[in-house]
Amino acid sequence: MTNWIRCLKPSGCPDDLGPLQLAWLGDSVWELHQRLRFSDTPAKTKDLHLSVVSQVKAEAQALALEHIEQYLTEIEKNFVRKGRNRVGRGFRKVNLAIYGKATGFETLIGWLFLKNPNRLAQLLDRLEKIESDRSDN
């Protein structure tokens, strides 16, 4: 489900954006990706919405980061750190460490979306494979 990303060319100057701007963009890219993944699933709109929400909440994003962290380059890890370190107080409902990981993940997604869409697609494909392997067991 990453063909839409693979068709994109790098755009803009992601290195000129701050971590929170990249996280803001990355959050929307991640949600669009999840919506596209569930769009082929026959279900009621409410159920589709709940499925997507379960994937875009901070805990799910932090878990996604944990799954791909070992495959990240040093530059990519640096953007995760920049996003994680920019977290303020976070939300009361979410542990600050989880919120930081989620923000780091979103920062990476936003940066890759602008800098290297093909690399982003590779990482998203890896996440889908990991999820598929988990559901097969």
Active site residues: 27
CA angle 48, 49, 54 (to 5 degrees): 100
Q: What are the φ/ψ torsions at residue 88 (nearest 5 degrees)?
A: -85, -125
Q: At what angle do helices 117-136 and 19-38 cross, to 10 degrees?
A: 50
Q: Which two tokens stand for residue 3?
A: 């063909």
Amino acid making up residue 85: N
Distance of CA 120 to the CA centre of its chain: 9
